[in-house]
Amino acid sequence: MNQQLAGFAPTPVTARMENHGRTMLKVAMASGQDLYARTGSMVAYEGFIQYEPNPPAVRQIASQWITGEGAPLMKCAGDGLLYLADYGADVVVINLDNDSLSVNGTNLLAFDSHLTWGVERVKGLAKFAGQGLWNVCVQGTGWVAITSRGTPIVVDCGRGEDETYVDPDALVAWSPNLKVKGKRSFKAGSLIGRGSGEAYQMAFSGQGIVVVQPSEDSTDRLRVRN
């Protein structure tokens, strides 16, 4: 039995954050290098790691995000190996090199606590999307892990003059320097039940990238479970 399962043993640590398979994230923790992770995303850990849900620092930064149940982030501190996953979603590990990235709150899995981050509401759109669209802007040099339901795609916006329109449910992340606006494509037909099914999109323009997942499932599974 061991032989068949041996192939799934963790590989030696080579970096702070790594993929274990497509859908699991392995973080090498050390004291002094804290991590913010989505509450409920921990699937296993080795070593001595402590979790602090809704830490004061988060409460301050993400005060808007908090809707009474606390921000969906926990602070992980300690030494060891931490395994995170989000219900089988693909995990993409990004080593920010003085970059910045704006990630949809649902698609953020973990990030280094020393990164500069902030929570903002996507303007003009939140009132249409059912759960509101929160995004976390992460900036600096360090590690970020995002999730995507299915293999994501990255599109360069600055190529054509045309804007890039994204279904908000499929949006994962984008460059914060892009200009974002909501676009409603309501037509008379939509009112009598003949819509195209695509009522509103987010329009991105400028130089930067947009990351999109091949699924319009934007439910926050980590949160739904609670």
Partner 1 sequence: MAREFQRGHKAKVSDLTSGTDLYVGVQIAGPGLTFDISCFGLDADEQLSDDRYFIFFNQPKSPEESIQLLGAQAGDTESFRVTLDRIPANIHKLSFTATLDGAGQMSQVGPGYIRIVAGGEEVVKYAFTGSEFTTERAVMLGDFYLKDVWRFAAVGQGFDGGLDALLKNFGGEVAEEAPAAPSQDAPPAFAPPSQASAPPAFGAPAAPQAPQPAPAFGAPSAPAPAPQQPPVHAAPTIAAPMAPQAPAPYGQPPQQPQFGQIPGQGAPPAAPPYGQQPPAAPPYGQQPPVPFGQQPPGLPHGVPQGVPAAGAGLQAALQPYKEAATGQRWTSQNQQLMRVDLTMGGMPVLARQGSMVMYQGKVDFGYKGAGFAGRMVGNATGQEMQLMRCTGRGQVFLAEEGAHLHPIELQGDGICVSAENVLAFDESLLYEVRRIEGHGIPGGALFTMQFQGTGTVVVKTHGVPVVLPVTPTTFADCNAVVAWSSASQVIVSSQVRLRRNAYPGHSGETVNLQFRGAPGNFVVVQPYEV
* Chain residues that interact with partner 1, rule: CB under 8 A: 9-16, 18, 28-33, 47, 79-81, 92-99, 101, 112, 114, 140-142, 149-156, 160, 162-167, 170, 185, 187, 189-190, 194-198, 201, 209-217
Based on CB atoms, which residue is closest to partner 1, 49 or 74? Answer: 49
Closer by beta carbon to partner 1, 1 or else 191: 191
In this structure, what are the phi and psi dihedrals at residue 189, rounded to the nearest 5 degrees?
-60, -30
Nearer to partner 1, 70 or 205 (CB): 205
Torsion of CA 44, 50, 51, 52, to 10 degrees: 180
Q: Measured from the CB atom, is 11 or 67 closer to partner 1?
A: 11
Q: In whole angstroms, what is the distance from residue 220 CA to residue 172 CA?
A: 12
Smallest distance, partner 1 to C-beta of residue 51, A: 17
Cβ proximity to partner 1, 4 vs 226, nearer residue: 4
Shortest distance, position 141 Cβ to partner 1, whole Å: 6
By C-beta, is 59 or 114 nearer to partner 1?
Answer: 114
Q: How far apart are CA 199 and CA 4, in angstroms?
A: 49
Give the CA-trace dihedral at 158, 162, 164, 165, to 10 degrees: 170
